[in-house]
Amino acid sequence: MRQTKRDELVRKALDIFYRNGFHATGMDMLVAETGISKTSMYKHFRTKEDLILAVLRLRDENFRNWLYRRVDELADTPRGQLLALFDALGEWFGKREFRGCMFIKASAEFQDRDHPIHVQAAEHKRLLLDHFTRLAEKAGAKDATALACQLLLLKEGAIVTAVLSQNCDPARDAGLAARVLIDQMLAV
């Protein structure tokens, strides 16, 4: 499928926003780094916020597709896949371009819970919760929603710790804590 100018802009803007943040990235920076004129940008997006929403949708799709595929590759049982979440995170944290979670950043920069960008960031987290709740159900968890909430809390904490700390292995540490929770919730 041929990439449109709009698709190219969103893809390039994703990298720029991820690296620099949303408020710190102005339209002039986007023009300079994407090579796409302001006129062309405004032809596709009425506002910078519209572009940010498109970027978040692309990041959501890319990240969830990668995460779900990688978890499936790492383990072939629902229980194993719940644990593999943390192995996949460890791989992500080890990438040179890792700069944390774009959705955590978006919610921090757009804190009004009714703001469309905050809503889009929260939707990403909801979709992850739904997916891991289904996995917990398949694994036979006594309370699948509670287990998924706890695992995603560990995931989010591991992401923030991976950005801020050089003194621990957040994916491994969160995975060890997850194993205790999973064992407890799957015990008959």
Contacts of 117 (CB under 8 A, 6+ apart): 22, 49, 52, 53, 56, 106, 109, 110
Phi, psi of 155 (to 5 degrees): -60, -50
Q: Tens of pLDDT along 152-173?
A: 999 999 999 999 987 889 999 9
Q: Which two tokens stand for residue 143?
A: 């309370």
Q: Based on the number of CB atoms within 10 Å of its own CB, is 26 exposed (0-12), middle (13-18) or buried (19 or more)?
A: exposed
Nearest to 129 by CA among 82, 182, 181: 82
Q: What percent of the chain has pLDDT over 90?
A: 87
What's the pLDDT at 102? 98
pLDDT under 70: residue ranges of the chain: 1-2, 188
Residue 24 DSSP one-character state? T
pTM of the predicted protein model: 0.93
pLDDT value of residue 2:
62
Alpha helices (runs of H) in 94-143, residue ranges in sequence order: 102-109, 116-139
Evaluate the CA torsion angle 28, 1, 62, 91 in order and state its sign. Answer: negative
Domains along the chain?
53-186 (1.10.357.10)
